[in-house]
Amino acid sequence: MTAEQDTMSHVEEERPRLETEHESLSRELHDQRGIKFSLILLSLFLITSTRLVFDAIWFFFLNRPASWILFLSNDLIYLFLLYLGELYLAVVFLKRFWNVNITPIQHDRLYSYSIFIWLTYPLVPLLSVIAKEPPLQTIEWFKYFPFFMIYENYFAIGMTAIIPVLLLGYSFLLAKYSTAKWYQAFLAVGLGNLILYLLFYQYLYRFAMWLFHQGGNTLYVLDGYCNIEYLIFVWKFSAPFFKTYNSTSLTSRFYVPFGLVSFLMLLYGLFSTADKTNVGHRTTLLLLALLVLGLLAVVLFLPEWLRHRRKVNERAG
């Protein structure tokens, strides 16, 4: 037997052991990812529950169990949106402007450590309560910005206090756990925060508040609509999160139930107080809300779908 044949024979003998070790390591890695995934979701829930306690003091209408459930669902979905969106947008801008790519291992570290940044989330209502500040405010100088809301702005002192924490915290993590330089990370995070503010505190929020007033000033309308809107963005922002932790369980456990419940909330809010004189108006509001949500989904997912189809056609060709 030659040396080469002897080596090949040894490799064949070792193959079952190596394959077993590989499968064992793969299962261990999958279990670790599953644990991290669950811990992240549990942390977000606990942070949201803590915030709800302070929201109950801040918002005078949190005096019924239904109001607590509405606020908890809305805060939970919105925190998940911010948690995913901050990193998603920053990574997109880093890749677009500075060709910085984030690996799954780097994503894992960023998702894991950024949870600590969001421990500041309950400070938004707490600091506002201490400052005796109302939740919604009139900001006259917003009239100088196109299509900004002047009245009923959610621009709490607690929010302005944690924005620097978000900017510096995410900039530090991106600079530490990726190849991005400090200034690149800071600019990417800042631009992402600006987009989140314009969308969810001005332009999309403006339509939600209009729907709220037109639909009878009930939280079922506001939270039901906003929950569906947030879920659309969460679905968009969660792609790298699912890829990192190799899990799509939120689709059936989170998106679908919350989406259905939120739609029922919207229906109940619009039509529970309707009468023969305004049922047509409420139906128009429902159709308009569904149209806006549909347009958001098209804008967010159509380009990605077209890119996917183009790649499929190129491979087939």
DSSP 137: B
Distance CA 279, CA 238 (A): 37
Percent helix / strand / coil, the chain, rounded to 5: 80, 0, 20
Tell me the chain's radius of gyration from C-alpha atoms: 24
Q: What is the 3-state secondary structure (H, E, C) of 178-209?
A: CCCCHHHHHHHHHHHHHHHHHHHHHHHHHHHH
**Contact, 162 vs 120, CB < 8 A?**
yes
Residues 6+ apart with CB under 8 A from 13: none
Q: Which two tokens stand for residue 277?
A: 């004189």
For the chain, 317 residues long, give each residue's pLDDT as a single digit of tens: 555 555 555 545 555 654 454 455 445 555 577 788 889 989 999 999 898 888 877 765 556 666 777 888 888 899 999 999 999 999 999 999 999 999 988 999 999 999 999 999 998 888 888 888 888 888 899 989 888 898 888 877 888 889 999 999 999 999 999 999 999 999 999 999 999 999 999 999 999 999 999 998 888 999 999 999 999 999 999 989 988 887 666 666 778 888 898 999 999 999 987 777 788 999 999 999 999 999 999 999 999 889 888 888 888 76
| Residue 62: its H or E element | none
- Contacts of residue 112, defined as CB under 8 A and 6 or more positions apart, other chains included, come to 36, 40
Is 153 strand, coil or helix? strand
- What does the CA dihedral 267, 214, 74, 60 come to, rounded to 10 degrees? -120
**Pair of tokens at residue 222:** 């506001």
CB–CB of 121/128 below 8 Å? no
Q: How many CA atoms lie within 13 A of 220 on its CB side?
A: 16
Token pair, residue 56, equals 């109950």
What is the rounded distance in angstroms from the CA atom of residue 269 to the CA atom of residue 267?
5
H or E element in which residue 165 lies: helix 157-177
Contact of 99 with 80, CB cutoff 8 Å: no
- The angle, 0 to 180 degrees and rounded to 10, between the axes of the packed helices 279-316 and 219-237 is 0
